[in-house]
Amino acid sequence: KAGVTQTPRYLIKTRGQQVTLSCSPISGHRSVSWYQQTPGQGLQFLFEYFSETQRNKGNFPGRFSGRQFSNSRSEMNVSTLELGDSALYLCASSSARDTGELFFGEGSRLTVL
Protein backbone atom coordinates (compact mmCIF):
# COMPACT_ATOMS: atom_id res chain seq x y z
CA LYS A 1 0.00 0.00 0.00
CA ALA A 2 1.43 3.37 -0.99
CA GLY A 3 2.12 5.83 1.81
CA VAL A 4 1.13 9.46 2.11
CA THR A 5 2.51 11.44 -0.80
CA GLN A 6 3.24 15.14 -0.67
CA THR A 7 4.20 17.41 -3.54
CA PRO A 8 6.27 19.36 -4.11
CA ARG A 9 8.99 18.21 -1.74
CA TYR A 10 10.94 21.43 -1.88
CA LEU A 11 10.06 24.90 -3.03
CA ILE A 12 11.39 28.41 -2.76
CA LYS A 13 9.15 31.45 -2.87
CA THR A 14 9.56 35.15 -2.23
CA ARG A 15 7.61 37.28 0.21
CA GLY A 16 4.15 38.19 -0.99
CA GLN A 17 3.76 35.18 -3.26
CA GLN A 18 1.34 32.37 -2.65
CA VAL A 19 1.89 28.63 -2.60
CA THR A 20 -0.20 25.49 -2.94
CA LEU A 21 0.87 22.18 -1.43
CA SER A 22 -0.69 18.85 -2.25
CA CYS A 23 -1.24 15.71 -0.22
CA SER A 24 -2.45 12.29 -1.36
CA PRO A 25 -3.47 10.14 1.63
CA ILE A 26 -3.18 6.41 1.97
CA SER A 27 -5.85 4.72 -0.10
CA GLY A 28 -9.01 4.38 1.97
CA HIS A 29 -8.06 7.07 4.47
CA ARG A 30 -10.65 9.81 4.63
CA SER A 31 -9.06 12.08 7.22
CA VAL A 32 -6.22 14.42 6.32
CA SER A 33 -4.47 16.74 8.76
CA TRP A 34 -1.82 19.35 8.11
CA TYR A 35 0.98 20.37 10.46
CA GLN A 36 3.66 23.03 10.31
CA GLN A 37 7.03 21.95 11.65
CA THR A 38 9.69 24.47 12.62
CA PRO A 39 12.84 23.93 14.73
CA GLY A 40 11.64 26.05 17.63
CA GLN A 41 7.95 25.22 17.71
CA GLY A 42 7.78 21.54 16.90
CA LEU A 43 4.62 20.34 15.15
CA GLN A 44 1.77 22.81 15.07
CA PHE A 45 -1.68 21.82 13.91
CA LEU A 46 -3.07 23.73 10.92
CA PHE A 47 -6.34 22.01 10.02
CA GLU A 48 -8.03 18.68 9.52
CA TYR A 49 -10.38 17.54 6.80
CA PHE A 50 -12.73 14.59 6.77
CA SER A 51 -14.96 13.78 3.81
CA GLU A 52 -14.31 17.17 2.20
CA THR A 53 -15.27 19.08 5.34
CA GLN A 54 -12.92 21.02 7.56
CA ARG A 55 -13.45 19.48 10.96
CA ASN A 56 -10.81 21.28 13.03
CA LYS A 57 -8.64 24.33 12.63
CA GLY A 58 -5.55 25.48 14.50
CA ASN A 59 -4.48 28.96 15.46
CA PHE A 60 -3.09 30.16 12.18
CA PRO A 61 -4.04 33.35 10.29
CA GLY A 62 -6.53 33.30 7.46
CA ARG A 63 -3.69 33.31 4.94
CA PHE A 64 -3.53 29.58 5.56
CA SER A 65 -6.35 27.67 3.95
CA GLY A 66 -7.05 24.20 2.71
CA ARG A 67 -9.51 21.94 1.04
CA GLN A 68 -10.18 18.29 0.43
CA PHE A 69 -11.47 16.68 -2.71
CA SER A 70 -13.90 13.81 -3.15
CA ASN A 71 -11.01 11.37 -3.59
CA SER A 72 -9.64 12.50 -0.17
CA ARG A 73 -6.65 14.29 -1.70
CA SER A 74 -6.03 17.57 0.04
CA GLU A 75 -4.37 20.85 -0.74
CA MET A 76 -3.27 23.68 1.47
CA ASN A 77 -2.65 27.21 0.32
CA VAL A 78 -0.67 29.99 1.90
CA SER A 79 -1.20 33.45 0.48
CA THR A 80 0.91 36.59 0.90
CA LEU A 81 3.89 34.61 2.11
CA GLU A 82 6.00 35.91 4.97
CA LEU A 83 9.54 34.97 5.97
CA GLY A 84 8.15 33.24 9.05
CA ASP A 85 6.19 30.83 6.88
CA SER A 86 9.42 29.01 6.05
CA ALA A 87 8.89 25.53 7.46
CA LEU A 88 8.30 21.89 6.75
CA TYR A 89 4.62 21.29 6.07
CA LEU A 90 3.54 17.81 6.97
CA CYS A 91 0.38 16.08 5.89
CA ALA A 92 -0.98 13.10 7.79
CA SER A 93 -3.81 10.74 7.03
CA SER A 94 -5.79 8.32 9.13
CA SER A 95 -8.49 5.80 8.40
CA ALA A 96 -11.05 6.69 11.00
CA ARG A 97 -11.58 8.96 13.94
CA ASP A 98 -10.87 6.35 16.55
CA THR A 99 -8.00 4.57 14.84
CA GLY A 100 -5.36 6.54 16.65
CA GLU A 101 -2.39 6.45 14.33
CA LEU A 102 -1.51 9.29 12.01
CA PHE A 103 0.51 8.37 8.93
CA PHE A 104 2.71 11.25 7.89
CA GLY A 105 4.06 12.17 4.50
CA GLU A 106 7.65 13.26 4.04
CA GLY A 107 6.61 16.88 3.94
CA SER A 108 6.97 19.89 1.71
CA ARG A 109 9.85 22.13 2.70
CA LEU A 110 8.98 25.74 1.97
CA THR A 111 11.61 28.45 1.99
CA VAL A 112 10.46 32.05 1.77
CA LEU A 113 13.08 34.60 0.73
Contacts of 84 (CB under 8 A, 6+ apart): 112
Closer residue to another protein, CB minimum distance, 81 or 108: 108
Closer residue to another protein, CB minimum distance, 79 or 95: 95
Interface positions with another protein (CB under 8 A): 4, 31, 33, 35, 40-45, 48, 50, 55-56, 90, 94, 97-102, 104-107
User: Minimum distance from CB of 16 to another protein (Å)?
Assistant: 30
Contact criterion met (CB below 8 Å) for 102 and 91? no
Distance CA 20, CA 26 (A): 20
